[in-house]
Structures are given as structure tokens and as C-alpha cells.
Amino acid sequence: MASELGSAAPRPSALKRLLLKPKPCSILLLLKDSEQSWYPSKLARVSGASYVHVINLLTNLRKFGIVASEKKGKQNIFHLTEKGAYLALTLDDLAKKCEVAETEHKMVKQEAPPPHPLPEAPIVQKEKAAAAAGGASRIGDSAAQQNASSVRAPTQEAKREAKPAPVEKK
């Protein structure tokens, strides 16, 4: 028992690895509709999986006793076994519960009040107080920065515009 607790997590079963993926789940849920005749190419088209993937999946599901097939002419029609129907109902119930939980999460997230703004750092508070009082502070005095920006050296373009036009010599 002590060795079980200390060991790594058990490896998932082959059936769990097979079924807990989006496309196999969608195929299993499609097969739940027993009024339809489900053949591999139709399952592939409706589920968005490739034909080869569907064939391989159906082969594995048949090995586990989840699906069975019957031949109608040239077509193999697949349907769920009793075991498969139970799994499909359970999976459908789980999918519905996940959708409800996701919807509730989105609603709670939208209703949540906006987050409070973070308090300003003490340095920023001192700078704002100094700017309001008209004094200078060590870092980023906004009034001093505005004055410095208005007293900048003229750009090259401004210098060209300020020069008088050259006079032509005859």
C-alpha cells in the first residue's frame, strides 16, 4: 500500500485514452441517435474527422464492445451496443453539465465588479504632491518636463524654414 501511494499516477486505460478526445466523443454521441443509419463516411462527414480515423476508431470501439455493425448491401451500418448506449448517455450528461458550468462561469465573470485600481506607489504620490505645490521632485516632475519640452532646440526642418531664401545672382 505504501508503494502505491509513493508511485506515479496510474496510466490511463486504453478505453479512457480512446474516448476522452473530442472526435471520438462526437462520434459516440452521433451514434446515440439510433434513428439514423450511421455508416463510416457519414460519421466522418458529420463529425469532421477523416474517413480513415473513423474506420480506426470504429474498429477499436468494436473491440471494446461499444459498437456493433450490420451489413446492409455494400454498407456497414454501425450502432451502439447496450454498453455503448450507457457510455454515450453518461458522456452526453457530462457534456451538458460542462456547458452549464461554463455558462455560469461566464455569467459570474460578467457580473463581477471591475477590479479596484492598484494603489499608487509612494514615489508617485510624492511627485503628484510636488507638482501640485509647484515644487520640483527627483523623478518625473510633470511641470518641469513640460517646461523642458517647450524649450527644446529647433529641429532641422524648423532651421531650414527660418533661413531666408537664397538670392539669385545675375
Residue 155: which pLDDT band, with cuts at 50, 70 and 90?
Answer: low
Q: pLDDT for 34-82, tens place per residue?
A: 888 899 999 999 999 999 999 999 999 999 999 999 999 888 999 999 9
Average pLDDT over residues 6-28: 72
Give me the residue spans of the domains in the chain.
12-86, 120-151
C-alpha grid cell for residue 125? 504620490
Q: pLDDT for 124-140, tens place per residue?
A: 666 767 777 765 545 54
Better-predicted residue by pLDDT, 96 or 135? 96
The reply to whether the predicted model has a pTM over 0.75 is no
Helical (H) or strand (E) element with 80: strand 75-80
Pure H helices in the chain: 2-6, 14-19, 22-31, 40-47, 51-63, 82-111, 122-133, 142-150, 156-162
Q: What is the pLDDT of residue 137?
A: 47
Query: What is the Cα–Cα distance from 161 to 155, expressed in whole angstroms?
Result: 10
Does the domain at 12-86 match CATH 1.10.260.40? Answer given as no
